[in-house]
A and B are shown apart, each in its own frame.
Chain A
Amino acid sequence: MAGIGIVVTLLGFVITLMSLGMTDSVNARMIMSLVGIAVSFFGIMGLIIPAYNKNAIWRK
């Protein structure tokens, strides 16, 4: 699960990077950047952290 989270986090950056090559529109780039940031945050907060908390010391 944490591994998938790392990939998703990186994927968010790739989405943002692709905005530079896919369009010249400022608005489109802004939307893609925001989507990229949201995807990265989901990777960290929605996947990596829950994966670590599943085996956290306070659960034992």
Chain B
Amino acid sequence: MKRLTLLTTTVLLLASLASAQAPPAAAPPATPAATPAAAPPAATPLTDADLKGIEAPKAEDRAKGDPAGTITGTVADVPVADPITDKTPKAKGLTLGDLANLGGQNKIAINFVWTLITGFLVMFMQAGFAIVETGLCRAKNANHTMMMNFMVYGVGMLAYWLIGFTIQMGGLGGNGNLGGLVPLSSEYSIQLFGKSFGLFGQNGIFLMHNGTYDVGVMVMFLFQMVFMDTALTIVTGSAAERWKYVAFLVSSFMLGAFIYPLFGNWAWGNGWLANLGGNFGLGKGYCDFAGSGVVHAVGGLSALALAIIVGPRIGKYTRDGKSNALIGHDIVIVLTGCFILAFGWFGFNPGSTLGASTNGNLRISSVAVNTMLAGMAGSFGAMLYMWMRYGKPDASMTGNGLLAGLVAITAPSGFVNPVGSVIIGLIAGVLVCVSVEFVDRVLKVDDPVGAISVHGANGLWGVISVGLFADGKSNYGGSWNAVSGSVTGLFYGDASQLVAQLIGVSTLVGLVFTMVFVVNLAIEAIVGQRVGAKAELEGLDVPEMGQLGYPEFELKSSGVRA
């Protein structure tokens, strides 16, 4: 009976969403106004002389303080290029040029502050990933798992500063939101099918090379760096509890220095995927607003490659291939971590406008709402699926459902409407459960935290969903990837956008996975990827890190067994 009620609720919810998503009936043609409105009087152009009469608050008034805030932030705060002083009575004083400069700098300042603060939020997601992964692992590996999540931040940043940022963004070719970013203008390209294929950037080594010691470039570096680190920390989950620490360091460095930045360049750095629209007429080119593909699918597919190479944990499968559940040690910190990640996602997606002022960037509100709605729908999708299938609303899978919804909405968040977001999130919530079961029971790939399903499967779903649900209403300065117009998916009339997205998916699955796999095979051959059986059975805290994560806990026998 309980299952029937849940099933009915789900069907009703889906039906109401489908009806809300249906395109509205054609609106009747607008009736022309009976009488044309009177033409406004011609405006008189403003001149410098008009500014002379604007008075600043008097010094004695300022001295009394400003509890109401009415005389703080006035004409007195406008920087003047040629100020009138006692010694220069004939100076120009405040001019329209001063106001124009102030307007320009204010726009860039707003965008800098927005992008930096959202970048700080994304950085805090590292804490969320750390405790989600640690909570889903057994207590005997807590120190090791936490330490991998901690040091991936430093290793990734070092790799990205040395070379990764250059490869990814060195040929960006400008960004109006952040003041131009003119130094990032050297992209290495080849000719293929008669078109230019951008492969990697060349400016930005050490953030000093060719004029990249630049305030705008610094903002871009910080924001892109924390995104890259998110991709790296996904991998530590799938290989947890048996990954050799040295191998983790080398593998993370290679991913942050070369593999992630390459795909990042193709999608975001003026590379060949971004230019599929301009070169081949495929929609607006590959569109990945905040990184379902660039960040999550790259991380998820890397997680798959690593999980295959290191192999399942001892005790995960019986001799006949039956899967055993190796339960994580702290569901409380798992769900707390999910909340931290959901909070950080408000930096991830809305921050990807790289600005809050002009160029259609007020759409940050829509991006933020889409993000929270998809997360909600994902958690509902997973909870209801697990409840119907197993009779209980599984806590860890509900948390993974929230993350799956957030992962899936990351690429389309800037291009879809709220109803589309809920559908995308709901599908993601179910998809993560089905995928976890498939990876665990059919493929027999051991993924302790579900990273392959949360980030890999749903990252790919997010990329595809842009090609389906983008509603053509967004307008970020009138174009995307240098193709004029708004991103529009199949359901709103543009099938070619879906093709661009599928080419992105194929690149991820066919090329990025292969690169990660081959690089990690080389690491396997040189340093080895997996710890010895004795260390694995004991728990990696002491053999690998020299210290228990919980030294005062008495680990029960069931907790320390294989």
Contact = CB atoms under 8 A, between A and B. Distances in A.
Interface string A11-49: 111111101110010110110011011011101110011
Interface of A is mostly: helix
Nearest to A5: B517
Contact of A16 (B319, B321, B502, B517): B502
A1 B510 CA distance: 17
A6 B502 contact: no
A58 B319 contact: yes
Contacts of B247: none
A30 B495 contact: yes
A40 B71 CA distance: 65
Contacts of A16: 502-503, 506-507, 510
A34 B276 CA distance: 17
- In the complex, which of the residues B311, B321, B502, B514 has the most CB atoms of chain A within 10 Å of its own CB atom? B514
Question: Looking at chain B, what size class is its interface with the partner chain?
Answer: 35 or more
A52 B311 contact: yes
A26 B503 CA distance: 12
A49 B419 CA distance: 38
Given A9-B514, A13-B511, A36 B312 contact: no
A40 B514 CA distance: 10
Given A10-B511, A44-B513, A49 B499 contact: no
A13 B444 CA distance: 25
- In the complex, which of the residues A13, A19, A49, A58 has the most CB atoms of chain B within 10 Å of its own CB atom? A58
A30 to B, nearest CB: 5
B362 interface: no
Contacts of B507: 13, 16
Interface of B is mostly: helix
A58 B499 CA distance: 41
B282 A29 contact: yes
B168 to A, nearest CB: 20
A17 to B, nearest CB: 8
B162 interface: no
Given A30-B498, A57-B314, A52 B506 contact: no
B326 to A, nearest CB: 12
A6 to B, nearest CB: 6
B506 A12 contact: yes
Contacts of A39: 510
Interface in B481-507: 495-496, 498-499, 502-503, 505-507
Interface in B506-523: 506-507, 509-511, 513-514, 517-518
A48 B506 contact: no
Nearest to B502: A33
B280 interface: yes
Contacts of A33: 499, 502-503, 505-506
Contacts of B319: 58-59
A25 to B, nearest CB: 10
Contacts of B321: 58
A36 B317 contact: no
A48 B314 contact: no
A9 B312 CA distance: 22
B513 A21 contact: no
A58 B317 contact: yes
A32 to B, nearest CB: 9
Shortest 3 CB-CB distances between A and B: which pairs?
A: A13-B510, A16-B506, A58-B317
